[in-house]
Structure 1
Amino acid sequence: MESELRRGSVFMRAWMYSSSFRTRIWIALVAFTVVSIALTGISSYLIASRVIGSKATELSQNMINKSAQALEQKMKNIRISALSFMISDPMADIVNAAAKPGTLTFYDTFRLNEELQTPLYQLKLVEPAILSVLVVTPIGEFYMNKDNRDENVPFENTLLSLRLTNNRLPLWVEAHEDELFDSKTRVLSLLLEPASRGANGDIRVIVNVSEEALRQFITDNLEKESGQFLLFSESGQQVIAPSGEAEEAAADPGFAAELSGEGGSFRYRKGDRDELVNYSRIDFPTNWVLVFLQDRQLVFRDIRSIQWGGLAVFFGLAPLALFLAGRMAVLLLRPLHQLQLLMRRVEDNNLNVRYSSPYRDEFALVGLRFNQMLEKIGELIGHVTQAEREKRLLEIKALQAQINPHFLYNTLNTILWKSETARHGDVQEMIVSLSQLFRLGLNNGQEMTPLGKELDHVTEYMRLQQQCYEDLFVFEISVNDEELLDLPVPKLLLQPLVENSILHGFEELEDLGLISISVVGSPDWLIIRIADNGKGFETAEPEGGYALGNIRRRLLLYFGETATMTFRSRPFSWTEVELKLPMAQLRF
């Protein structure tokens, strides 16, 4: 069986290699269509359920976040109202009186309580959720007259007093039955103390907030009826008593363990319950957590309608279909892409690339012809390169041959004349300069020479010409960066330009001539300027004959169209030749 499969695989591979490109494309399209139809039915429900589930979870989280912000603001308002009450004048009178309890009469205590009625009434008016307020002092208790204090329950015997011994103020106490007043309603208590205390004991302010009012406030802000909420304190206690199924979740330790971080959502399953839980943490009161539980079936009920939206899902798969088609096209058109890549590399002057393919189709035949073409091009380029190299050498030799006879004749005549006139110092100097000139010009047979040597060469040339044409000109050379002297440049680049200045620029000059050579470097260019104060010229470019044409052709050969040679002149005033050589090619 395995051998038959192997033979079948070999046969299929051989058939694929020998089949035409059109056949392979047809097979790819058939396979793509079958896979697309199969994926449409499977993925439609999964995609829809994930999108709707994500949106529903996000909406629920946004709702619980806004509700938590509203609750936090509500609790802040209650505390601010209580603090405003504590800094009222009647409350200040009570604090002062508590400092000297022995001097107070019953009438004094009665008067202080009556004066406190107005701030207490205003406090309840500002925050209707506040049911009652009790001020406990060493000189007695103060509260609103209509609140009916339960005289049988001293404050010291209450749960609130016990919590005071273990915690610092201010302190919120979770919902409990009111022990201080006859109403016995369930309240949350805020325990506070004034900034200044009485001399005979501490003063405590107990603000009771209606649990039902706070529950109604949270429910109104949740803006949903299909869910229940929980409110945990920092210690994990229930701030408001839960009801219904939420009570069971609140008692589950695993549920509380999920409430980490600033907020989020998770799925809670226990028994036949399957709920979406969203929660958000508030900073005031410290680290309370508001939790909202919803039946997942109700939250995700819209997913069922998506099951009938198969047609919409099919059109939604169009981008995926295009993606798969592109991938298959890349796979099947790989031979063509490979050939295109090789062509780009050939455009970058890489002629060593070769096309190879295991197929025996049309692309393989084109690739074979492509390889043969590259081999022919390589041979032709080799011949042309060798011919250009030989031509370049011949041009340099021709330039040297053109310079040497006439220049050497004048130089030797000058040396003879100076020796006959016993000017042996000048003769010595000219012989040394002539020797240096030819040594630097030969450059050990190399076509490129360091810029420093090229400047030395033209310097020796100008020294010899100064001896031949006394008092005709002076020269100066400046280089803005000595590191530029190591850059390679074509040899005999400057001497023809200087010779042009001496023979043509100073031909009818009455004053002393000046030749100035400046070298400036930048990150992109090496700029060499040769300027003189000769007679100049009126045309776009002077007549330089063979020498100037030779320089231009050599620049084109070494640097292509990048390097430039520019002439500027003002008749009977000055002339300047600027050579710009690309720094990237010089440093290569």
Structure 2
Amino acid sequence: MRLNADMASSKWARQAAKLYGRLYKVSIKQRVRLAFMLMIVLAIAAVGFSSYAIAARELQKNAFATRQEAVNKTAQILDEKLYQISNAVRSIMFSDAYKQMMTDVRSNRIADYYIHLSELQYVFSQVGYNEPLIDGILIATPIGDFYPISHRRSQTQSFYESNLYYDIKNLTGGMWIAGHSDKFFSGNDRAISFVTRGMADDDSDTNVFIVVNVNESGLIATLNRHAADGGDPYFIADANGEEVMRTDWSAAHGLRRDEPFLRLASGGQGSFFYDFDKSEYLVNYSRSSVEPDWLLYGVQEKSELLSQMKGVQRTTLAYMGIFLLLAWLLSSRLTGLLLLPLFKLQRLMREVEDNRLDVRFASRSADEIAQVGHQFNRMLDEINRLIRDVRDSESSKRKAEMRALTSQMEPHFLYNTLNTIYCKSVLGENEDVNEMIMALSQMFQLGLSGGKDWNTLEDELSHVRQYCSIQQKCYEGLFEYEASCSDETLMGCPLPKILLQPIVENSIQHGFKDRSSGGRIRIKADREDGLLHLTIEDNGSGFDAEKVKQGMQLSRNAKKGYALVNIRERLRLFYGDDARMALSNAADGGARTDLWIPIGRTEGEGDERE
């Protein structure tokens, strides 16, 4: 045996020596070609398989995260619906018809039963209109049952003889009942019920109970709007494994009382894999915050969830094959051009000597010359980066200051506007409050402007119009407002946002503080010497223009009167010396503010000019 092993070892040694002998007889070009191919094969294989592994891991991670997010969102929808339905019960107890009925219940007076039944119909219809998922309402009292007359009450089932009564009578709050056949109304439709004890004004315990039936199929349809491909992958089960809602999917896969399945769900939310019908599924779950005993489950087959990975696998293999074929076809020529990278690097260095810093070295090889070339590229990148850093430093500082000034102005007008709405609300003028809130909403849309720092002149005028509408509601008859533009083409001119409103606010808050009526604000826009000329004037008490200018120069951080300082600084940052602001008294004694702004200038153009 040992002799045979020695003979085999000797044979392999001779074969290796013979192979090395043939390798040395091959030309240097062929040896480089073989080495090049070996390197390319290993590199492409490593990159391809690692790319596939990374892509597969990321796809799986994103798919799992997306699925969990969908389940969490559906759980939020479930909680929102449950919360809205419990609020509907509270709205019933707050109604006058309910309170009058409770007065007769406490005194055990049954003579006005039909009167209360009739008066509660409007309350029932309003609740059903506000929450369409509510399928039936029953108020069980010692003097009789109250329910929508559009529903036919089953005479065979009394609430006080039902299981619901024995479950709720010792509880202080409400409780949710899983899906069941409705015994209180004819038809035996499946419903999910919310049962609570009816409260009186004196908060005393009563023997009155309210049952709200929620349409089970309607609630399922609401939840499954987020289901993939319009399927039915969601179901709800309690801690005992009982179905809260019966769905086709849960019934078909036998999920009831599946103890191993139920043990895998713990905590508020999570996910795990589980086998149904010999197929592996991803199961995501999220616990209801309204009814903590309920868990919302979402299931999806793993192969379907990760179907994109097969496409990534095919694409990776295809690219690997293509690049290997190209490497074989080009390897012969590349070996003949081995020294060309060195000459190319030398030529690039001469170009750098002539201050051409945009040149770069490129090579398909990975030898020492290529490494030197890559170092050369990194050196040029670092030089260019340092140049860009120096060039962009001041521009970045300027942009940051612009945004800081804009954000300083936005809460300023928001706080004042909310104060005016609050005053109106306290006075009980709800119709005016509604109009003011709509105007404020439109102000937000125009003021936020999608996160941009710019608005058109048309949007700025609309922004001021909404603001004046709010102030006119708060100070009725105090002032009138008008705006005009001599050239319609100026309406599309870009301006820094929230530029006019603070000036108008100064006119109202300070110019008209001693007035009760007769105020007037005028805004004019025209073209002057190639600039957009904006004039804002009022007939208020006016001001000492020189004193205001001196105050603006003293401090940019004053707590009062910083609106004009803010506008002046933003104009300076956006336009430099090309824009200006002038303060004066109007001819009739009021205040006047003039702004001259370059037409069509935006922040990007300002940066380019800088």
The TM-score by the shorter chain falls in which range?
0.3 to 0.5
TM-score, scaled relative to structure 1:
0.46
Say which one has the larger Rg.
1
